[in-house]
Structure formats: C-alpha cells, structure tokens
Amino acid sequence: MATYKEFHQYSIEQPDAFWTEQAQLIDWKEPFTQVCDFSRPPFAKWFVGGKTNLCHNAIDRHAAKRPNDNALIFVSTETDEEKIYSFAELQTEVERMAAIYKSLGVKKGDRVLIYMPMIPQAAFAMFAAARIGAIHSVVFGGFASGSLATRIDDAKPALIVSSDAGMRGGKAVPYKHLLDEAIEIAEHKPNHVLMVDRGLDKGFNKVAGRDVDYATLREQHLNARVECEWLESSEPSYILYTSGTTGKPKGVQRDTGGYAVALASSLKHIYCGGEGETFFSTSDIGWVVGHSYIIYGPLIAGMATIMYEGTPLRPDPGIWWQIVEKYKVSVMFSAPTAARVLKKQDPAYMHKYDLSTLKHVFMAGEPLDQPTHEWFQNELGRPVIDNYWQTETGWPMLAALHGVEKTPIKFGSPSFPVYGYNLKIFREDGSECGANEKGIAAVIPPLPPGCLSTVWGQDDRFVSTYFTLFKEPLVYSSYDWAIKDDDGYFTILGRTDDVINVAGHRLGTREIEEAIQNHAAIAEVAVVGVEDKLKGQVPMAFAVVKDATRVATPELVKALEKEVFSTVDGILGAIGRPARVHFVTGLPKTRSGKMLRRSLQALAEGRDPGDLTTIEDPSTLEQIRNALAS
C-alpha cells in the first residue's frame, strides 16, 4: 500500500498513468485515446475521445447488477415523507423524465434549468438531462427573480423544471411566482416550464401554452425506455453558477468523463464508501456539494444516497443521527455551520442513536475552526475529517486520504493536497512560501479531472478570473489565504478579499474568528472588516453565545466582551482584537449554511446589504441592526 506522499507524487509526476488507472472505476462506451490534452493552457481536456454517460455510471450499471438495492432515499421532515427508490426504480423514473424531456423537444446540448426543492423529482430532472446529453443548470430553490432571470439569460434553457413550492421550518416557500417574474424579466423565454405540483401552493398560476404538468406527462410515459446518449468526455454535463456574483453570472462549466472519474476516485480514496453502503450529505442541489455528493458521486460508487428536505433541528436536534441509525449510514458529509448549530444543543441528542455504521463525517463549505472540530469529533466518537474545495473544482483540493493512508487528523486543518492537485502556497510576488508562512493557495495547471473546464460561454473570463494572479508562474488562484505547518498540514485562513488591513497589518477574518471561538462561552462567530477613518479597517465580530444568561444585562454584555478581548489578546495579540463584539442569537446564512459576511459588513458600514433572498432566517438581519444600534 502506498503512503499518501507516494500516491500524491505519482499523480503529479506520472499523471497519464495515474489517471488511466483511476478511469477504470467507471464504464466507457468507447475508450479514450489521450489522457490529457493541455495544448492550449490553461484549458485542459481529459480522457480525449472517450465516450461515457453520467447517468449510466450512476444508475444503469448498478441497476443491471443490483436492481433491488437501495439507490435514492428521500426523507422530508417538512412533509413527513420517506420514500426509497431501488436502482431499478430510479432508472425507471429517470427514463420517464427523459421521455418527457424528449416529448417537449429537448435534445442533446440543450440546457434544462432546474429550480426545485430537495425532492426526488429534482434528482430525476438532473439525471434525465445527463441521460439524453442535455446540460442542466440547477438554481437554488427560492432564489430571487432578478438573479434567476440573469441565469436564464446566460444559460438560455429550452426547458425549466420547477415546483409550486419548497418547505422550510414547517412553512411553504412558494416558487412559482418568483419563476414567473424571472421569466417576465428575462430576455430569453423558455419553450416550456415543467411543473411538479406538491399541493403546497394552491394558488399558483399556470401559463397556457408554456406550463405543463409533470404528473400528467409521467402517466403518458410510464413504460418509456430512453437509452443513454454517449458523450465525448469533454462535452459539458452541467453549468453551476457561483454564489455572490454581480453583473453577468459566472457559470462554472463541468465536463462529463473527467467529472465521473474524479467522483469515483474520491469515493474510493477520500470518502472510503463502497457498494451497498449509504451516503448522507446534508447539503442542497443548489450548491456544488449537492451535485457531487448527493446526486452523482455516491451513486457512481454504487452507494445509496440520502436526499434530505429539512433542518438539523426539526423535529429535534437528533434528527440527523436518527437517519444515520435507520438507514445505516456509513459516510456523512455536512458543513461547519451545521456543527456549530448542533454545538448549541443538548449533546444528549448525539448519543441517543446507534451510530455504529458511521465510519466518519466530512466537513466542507467554509473553514472548520479547531474548537468546533475537536468538540464535534469528541461528542460523536467518530473521525471528523475537514476537506477544502470550491464550486470551481467540483471535488476536494485538500483532504485526508484515508483510503490510501490513515494519516492523523489535526483539528482545524483539512490535511494535505489531494492527488492530481499540484497545490502550493505562494507569496504575492509569485514565489513559493516556506513552512508556517501565509500566502495564497494556488494550483499549478493542468487542473485535474472534474474541475471546471471553462466559464460557460466566456473562455476569456475563465482565464482572466482564475489564471492571472501572477505573470509567472501560471497558476489557478483559489483566492484563499493558506498556511502549511512543519508536518505539511494546510490550514485555510479565509478569502484574500476578506483580509482586514488594520493600520498596515494584514489579518485574515478566519484567524480572529478562531481566536474568539476559543472562549468557552462562544458557540459561533463571524468577523468582518469595517471601514475606519484612522486605521483603514477594523475587525468587528458578531457572536452567538451558548447560554443567553451570559448576555442578559448590559453589564454582563460588557463583561463578556472584555473576556473575549482578553482571549483574542492572548492568542493573536492586541492587533487582532475586534473593535466590538456584538452578541446576537443568530447569524445570517443561506439555506446551505454559507455565512453572508458581505451582508454583515455592509450593515456594519451602513450600506445596502444587497440581495438577501437566499437567507435562511431574515430575523437575524434585524438582530444585527439592533446590535449595531445599541
């Protein structure tokens, strides 16, 4: 068995041989003739000439061997529904959806925009597109009309698949009126809108001649058989728009063969999941984790995947662990924000259920601070493995490869560069950093299989956005500060554009957040840089306390703030001390758990916080405003 270092070195020094081996993890209709075409840097084409299909690799090949094994497990604590689809049943539903697409004139290369809640039909919609060679673009359900319109105009879908409403916290979240407004605003008009009616919004309007009913068309295609369209490896599979973009949307374009190979290899070497096991990712299909590790990755590996509609606290904070026990989950994937939410609850909920099948829990989406990492692992009694990646990469850049070597976990670190990524830390002049020296994490191209192949319709933007950090060397910039310790473990310190410049001293928000988290009273914290006439910027913290009695009076608030200052002073020195610590009961986040730091900063500076339609709990904004006014 190779060590991690040997495995990674092999992938970098002999990429053709390495990736040829990994490519055997999926089915190819026609073999590839070239492993990587990097004749036009920074553009890379993987497995040139090979033909494959994501839907075949995720569903058909397993349905042929293990038709009755669990494939898709739908759990909604919002509507109290649970439904299991075997591989055979999932294939049948996907073929029905594919037949509906064809009946509506959708063909290979057309775009299908999916604006859906976390329900099985959303998975059918994605797989059906992949099956017939259409390109899907999933937009987060409930996204604002204006933002949705820009994505419609960029992707120019022939078909939009949507639903009357999603559910969140026991309340219906209507979608159809937002979609109608978006289509009204957009210059591009789709030929059809396929509606899945859940019966949650009785009053939604149907547009004659455009809107068609899924249930009706499904009945017409119950016995449909639709064969897979075999795609050349580099043909696009989907477009996924990065969050927070302004102006013209930035659509990450993913290929087909490279993505399938990357996901298959990651399930083997990183997530250690195998056929017949169950994978539970708590994310959403509106975000890249949902694409890679709810929809495609686990099923490609022959695992069952859980599609969950709900929160970590409903009906109680034990719901995730109840699901782990019931469905014998072996691999779980969640976000640091979720861990911090659970940290505020009674830990007895984590000990109530049988978690013996659970091998490990993975965390990604934002930096996992050391105190939360340590707490979560100790309470669960299972390895908690941080991994770092981006919408653009589609799968981890930094992770422990326990399928190769069980390297020790360091709390707060996502471990090492993943195979295929020649990832280094650079100074701002383009030279490489030494150990314990902060710099910018960047990848020397070619990017490995599975990463974005370009920005949809904007090759020039692909180059200008990601590959112009330095004149020399040519690198893919992550736009994240990082540091590597003497043992080679990486730590991500936050975005380069989230750096706070305090009187000439550069401070990453992550460093200050981590310091504040070391205070025993703090459950969660977000730090932003706020404009200051004297110092340029000063850090401002918004913290959630574990026990509300600690901030029950103005005197107690002042006392706790002083304690937090002292904690930060002891770790970072006075230069890292925030100008203020505002104590709130919640922080503004998207439904997938991403912290809206830009909005926090705007509020702190008295500016418009921008588009907040994806916010999980709008009341948190009022709390922030009240805290700032006090």
**pLDDT tens profile 42-98:** 999 999 999 999 999 999 999 999 999 999 999 999 999 999 999 999 999 999 999
- Which tokens sit at 302? 């022959």
Angle formed by the axes of helices 554-572 and 509-517, nearest 10°: 120
pLDDT of residue 498: 67
Q: Report the C-alpha gap between 202 and 450 in whole angstroms.
A: 41
Token pair listed for 41: 């840097």
Percent of the chain topping pLDDT 70: 96
Q: Alpha-carbon distance 252 to 151, whole Å?
A: 12
pLDDT of residue 432 exceeding 70, the answer is yes
Helices (H) and strands (E) in the chain, counts: 20, 32
Answer whether 261's CB lies under 8 Å from 448's CB.
Answer: no
For residue 590, the 8-state DSSP code is: B
> By mean pLDDT, which of 142-156, 257-271, 413-427, 598-612 is the weakest?
598-612
- Determine how many CB atoms are found less than 10 A away from the CB of residue 477: 17
Q: What is the pLDDT of residue 244?
A: 39
pLDDT greater than 60 at residue 41 = yes
Assess contact for 52 and 21: CB atoms under 8 A: no
Q: What is d(CA 540, CA 577) in angstroms, rounded to the nearest whole number?
A: 9
The larger pLDDT score, comparing residue 543 to residue 613, is at 543
Q: What percent of the chain has pLDDT over 90?
A: 74
Count CB neighbours of 351 within 10 A. Answer: 13
In the chain, list all ranges with CATH 3.40.50.12780: 4-480
pLDDT confidence bin for 180, thresholds 50/70/90:
very high
Q: Could you tell me the CA-to-CA distances from 247 to 240, 250, 459 in Å, in that order? A: 16, 9, 17
Whether the predicted pLDDT of 301 surpasses 80? yes
Question: What confidence category does residue 499 fall into, taking pLDDT thresholds of 50, 70 and 90?
Answer: low
Q: Which DSSP category does 483 fall into?
A: E
Buried b (16+ CB within 10 A) or exposed e, 513-531: bbbbbebebbbbbbbbbbe
End-to-end CA distance of the chain: 60
How does residue 611 score in pLDDT terms, banded at 50, 70 and 90? low
> Which residues, other chains included, contact 601 with Cβ-Cβ below 8 Å and sequence gap of 6+?
528, 529, 530
The listed CATH number (3.30.300.30, 2.30.40.10, 3.40.50.300, 3.40.50.2000) that belongs to domain 503-629: 3.30.300.30
Whether the CB-CB separation of 380 and 357 falls below 8 Å is answered with no
246-261: average pLDDT: 87
Is the pLDDT assigned to residue 504 strictly greater than 70? no
User: Quick one: CA torsion of 442, 445, 450, 455, rounded to 10 degrees?
Assistant: 80
- Please tell me the distance from the alpha carbon of residue 459 to that of residue 456, in angstroms, as a whole number: 7
In what helix (H) or strand (E) does residue 279 lie, and over which residues does it extend?
strand 278-281
More reliable by pLDDT, 22 or 366: 22
Q: Which own/partner contact pairs does 126-129 have at CB distance under 8 Å and 24+ positions apart?
A: 126/238, 126/285, 126/291, 126/295, 127/54, 127/55, 127/58, 127/59, 127/90, 127/94, 127/97, 127/295, 128/55, 128/94, 128/95, 128/97, 128/98, 128/100, 128/101, 129/101, 129/238
**Choice between 314 and 59, residue whose per-residue pLDDT is larger:** 59
- Is the confidence at residue 155, as pLDDT, over 90? yes
Over the chain, what is the mean pLDDT? Answer: 92
The answer, yes or no, to whether residue 501 has pLDDT greater than 70, is no
Identify the weakest region by mean pLDDT among 161-165, 297-301, 334-338, 607-611: 607-611
Q: Is residue 277 pLDDT above 80, yes or no? A: yes
- Spatial neighbors of 545 by CB under 8 A, at least 6 apart, are 521, 522, 523, 551, 560, 583
pLDDT class for 33, splitting at 50, 70, 90? very high
Residue 23: predicted pLDDT: 98
Q: What is the mean pLDDT of residues 359-380?
A: 91
Q: Binning pLDDT at 50, 70 and 90, where does residue 119 land?
A: very high
> What's the pLDDT tens digit per position in 325-339?
999 999 999 988 888
Question: Does the pLDDT at position 245 exceed 50?
Answer: no
For residue 42, cis peptide bond before it (omega within 30 degrees of 0)? yes
Distances (CA, A) of 534 to 501, 506, 541: 12, 15, 19
Strands (DSSP E) contained in 41-109 are 43-48, 51-52, 70-76, 81-86
Mean pLDDT of 607-612: 74
The size of the chain, in residues, is: 630
Residues of each domain in the chain carrying CATH 3.30.300.30: 503-629
Q: Would you tell me which CATH number, out of the four given (3.40.50.12780, 3.90.1170.50, 3.40.50.970, 3.40.50.10540), belongs to the domain 4-480?
A: 3.40.50.12780
Alpha carbon distance 167, 187 (integer Å): 30
Which range, of 107-121, 358-372, 448-462, 493-507, averages the lowest pLDDT? 493-507
The arithmetic mean of pLDDT across residues 213-234, rounded, is 98
Q: Which of 93-97, 141-145, 274-278 is predicted least confidently?
A: 141-145
* pLDDT for res 243: 52
pLDDT above 70 (res 534): no
Distance set, CA 482 to CA 237, 389, 440, 501 (Å):
31, 13, 6, 17
Grouping H, G, I as helix, E, B as strand and the rest as coil, residue 599 is: helix
Asked whether residue 610 carries a pLDDT value surpassing 80, the answer given is no
Q: What is the mean pLDDT of residues 557-564?
A: 94
Q: Which of 584, 494, 505 is nearest to 538 (CA)?
A: 505
What's the pTM?
A: 0.86
Only one residue has tokens 């974005």, namely 452
